[in-house]
């Protein structure tokens, strides 16, 4: 059953803590993306990766970091430098010139 999985569904972060959101895809897609969604804001691009071991900053990369060690995986770390991390985080992937496909999302909340 092919698709994109994100875990956990809900994540709680304490002040000053780094947390990592998981994104895995078994679609054999080359490109992967992380977006942040806030109410009434649409989606904003955090980071993207076109190929393994390479990634680029999106529009709102400050306070976030990523890695792309495997084609299937693109984890996002929300660092303590991100002062307003509460949001819904969406991962997406794409093959070639085709459409982006999205995972189910992770909601991050600050304690």
| 90 near another protein, rule: CB under 8 A | yes
**Which residue, 51 or 81, has its beta carbon nearer to another protein?**
51
Least distance between another protein and beta carbon 68 (Å): 13
Q: Residues 11, 13, 30, 43: which binds another protein (CB under 8 A)?
A: 43
Q: Residue 2 to residues 11, 19, 53, 66, 103: CA-CA distances in angstroms?
A: 24, 26, 23, 23, 11
**Which residue, 7 or 18, has its beta carbon nearer to another protein?**
7
Q: Residue 70 to residues 34, 39, 57, 109: CA-CA distances in angstroms?
A: 16, 32, 18, 28
- 82 bridge partner residues: none
**Which residue, 82 or 93, has its beta carbon nearer to another protein?**
93
């Amino acid at each position: 059953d092919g698709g994109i999985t994100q875990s956990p569904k809900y994540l709680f972060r304490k002040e000053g803590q780094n947390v990592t959101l998981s994104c895995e895809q078994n679609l054999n897609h080359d490109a992967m993306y992380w977006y942040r969604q806030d109410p009434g804001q649409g989606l904003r691009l955090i980071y993207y990766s076109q190929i393994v071991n390479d990634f680029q900053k999106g529009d709102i990369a400050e306070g976030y970091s990523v890695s792309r060690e495997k084609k299937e995986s693109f984890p996002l770390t929300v660092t303590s430098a991100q002062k307003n991390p509460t949001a819904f985080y969406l991962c997406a992937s794409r093959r070639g010139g085709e459409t982006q496909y999205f995972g189910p999302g992770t909601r991050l909340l600050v304690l």
